[in-house]
Structure 1
């Protein structure tokens, strides 16, 4: 049985894989099913840039599960995209052949810039079309996307080579969080942002919005601990960095709002976010539930819809 009124997006991220299915209706897209699996693809990338057999198998198990849920959706109704780790992996091509078979649909590895633009589209659509200058930050497992835009339109987009998994492996691989390691990680993140700093500050923004797992986890922690109402601030990040250092061991970290699956990579994620704040002078960041997969849905819909149609993802 086919379902012509359904479309789906699959995001093969460096830390987690996501799938969302939405129904196309007159007033917009209505999500009816969403799934997430922590695949840890980036953790399986070795020093030679090859994906381990174990990481590939974790990914294939997840994609088979997604594929069973996508049965009945016709060709052209599903768009699956790969991101940072699949851009880097030297053995991505043979893996993608197996991944396509497991999912039952083609998988496109998108560029970092395309990833950033698609994230912006998803987040901006969720915010609405107010003519305000926006800075959207998305921290993934292997890359961080920074986009400046005006309303629904992106103006500048960059994909930076740092993420929560990559920085955890680089600075906190032993599972210990030392003060010096945290300082070095934050400094390295700020230096990675430096090439886009001048343009970002010259363009400016009136609203800063963060998306995806790391940023939403930080927001939950700060809210649940009573540090902020959910907004992310420099003071809130300083408190969280000190808390991580004081606990010292990742396996002993217990914070209301921090999930068991997010805990192993939170130190790297907090360091990346802190470096972004430092480099760009961000004073306050709010969060969005929308991210890459919502942007993929909107792009898929645009390919199917008549040019005059204007649909949004209903919340």
Structure 2
């Protein structure tokens, strides 16, 4: 499994309302560490983090690394330790915070949304302290990129929790998603698209998957995710016909935004080789759960699943015709996702329209895993023997 990040054509893009992307954040949670003075230049290592490791084990193998992703809808944290070419998760946290609720109409983060996010981030801060994290990166995405008061919120988070959020560009978001999930791409020789349906935006990436690390050929980010699209298109819940009409309008809005990317990749989509598609988001994992008729969500059953695209389209249309109450009664959807899942379905079908793969790969992994791989590669590069190869992921 690759530990190195695919290249970007331009990683200098900044983001309104926060720090520029691409920086390894947050050493706030490290206590001062004793330095081994017998080895000049050695990175300080806390003995407490190495407890239980065999003598002679490389220091970075005993350390905990963390990735925090504050999105438009969710706040998610992963803490892990390296394990061979992969990593082992030792702690995790996820909470629906709806940070971008109402943002599409007001242009600002609401007080209630910021309070919800801060509540989740306080939990994350405590986990980071308790796990003695060696390297961490905390990122924020579309909601903080777009909000007029995004910078104020980022500063409030730093002041109240100690977490320094890096507001990453859409391009960096796409790169991290690819890095985190590309290993699940179905085997084959044709071109591939990886997409990430978020709360406030959707990223699509055309890749050349040959070699250990995919090469990014083209990409686009549109400002439509499950929260922003739900807020933008007028509700019509009274009849099935009205709900389907709203769904059609959602698909039209998204298709219009995808049009430049669709035109650029049209030649790749018409190739004689089989095209491949991989999605990472709550939308695709939820629909995969419905497809499997799971009584409750099971990551082991969903992550890496390959589903016929026709099945995902049929489920999308069926959910769009249901009322929110009917959707909420379905296992693996529930009331939290009952309203937002329709927008996710519309985005997914718009993607299938421009990239008509016969099958859809499902990934329950993405940005956080991409961050962890970059951090662990950087950690290797900064210890003796890490070598120049390891630095490529930083």
Measured against the shorter chain, the TM-score band is: 0.7 to 0.9
Contact 1:148 1:156 in 2 (8 A): yes
Aligned match of 1:308: 389
Aligned match of 1:179: 244
Shift of 1:171: 2.4
How do residues 72-221 of structure 1 correspond to structure 2 at under 5 angstroms?
Answer: 77-127=135-185, 133-151=191-209, 152-153=213-214, 154-171=216-233, 173=235, 178-204=243-269, 206-221=275-290
Matched, 1:235 2:297: no
Aligned match of 1:268: 343
Contact 2:310 2:358 in 1 (8 A): no
Aligned equivalents of 1:299, 1:129: Cα separation in 2: 24
Q: Map Cα deviations across residues 26-47 of structure 1 (whole Å, 9 max, x no partner).
A: 4432111111000011114262
Shift of 1:184: 1.2
Matched, 1:250 2:344: no
Contact 1:75 1:105 in 2 (8 A): no
Aligned equivalents of 1:240, 1:125: Cα separation in 2: 26
Shift of 1:209: 0.6
Aligned match of 2:54: none
Number of corresponding residues:
308
Contact 1:7 1:73 in 2 (8 A): no
Shift of 1:305: 2.1
Aligned equivalents of 1:133, 1:141: Cα separation in 2: 27
Shift of 1:251: 2.3
Calculate the aligned-residue CA RMSD, in Å. 2.8
Aligned equivalents of 2:101, 2:316: Cα separation in 1: 23
Aligned equivalents of 1:9, 1:128: Cα separation in 2: 26
Contact 2:194 2:279 in 1 (8 A): yes
- SS of the aligned residue for 2:389 comes to coil
Instruction: Go from structure 1 to structure 2 and tell me whether the alpha carbon gap of 1:266 and 1:244 turns closer, same or farther (over 3 Å shift).
Output: same
Contact 2:63 2:134 in 1 (8 A): no
Instruction: Go from structure 1 to structure 2 and tell me whether the alpha carbon gap of 1:33 and 1:199 turns closer, same or farther (over 3 Å shift).
Output: same
- SS of the aligned residue for 1:202 comes to helix
- What are structure 1's unaligned runs of at least 5 residues? none
Contact 2:71 2:141 in 1 (8 A): yes
- SS of the aligned residue for 1:42 comes to coil
Contact 1:67 1:102 in 2 (8 A): no
Aligned equivalents of 1:282, 1:129: Cα separation in 2: 13
Q: For structure 1, which segment, 26-35 or 130-139, has the greater mean C-alpha deviation from structure 2 after superposition?
A: 130-139
Given the two structures, how large is their TM-score scaled by the length of structure 1? 0.87
Question: Which of the two has higher C-alpha Rg?
Answer: 2
Contact 1:134 1:148 in 2 (8 A): yes
Aligned match of 1:43: 101
Q: For structure 1, which segment, 197-206 or 262-271, has the greater mean C-alpha deviation from structure 2 after superposition?
A: 197-206
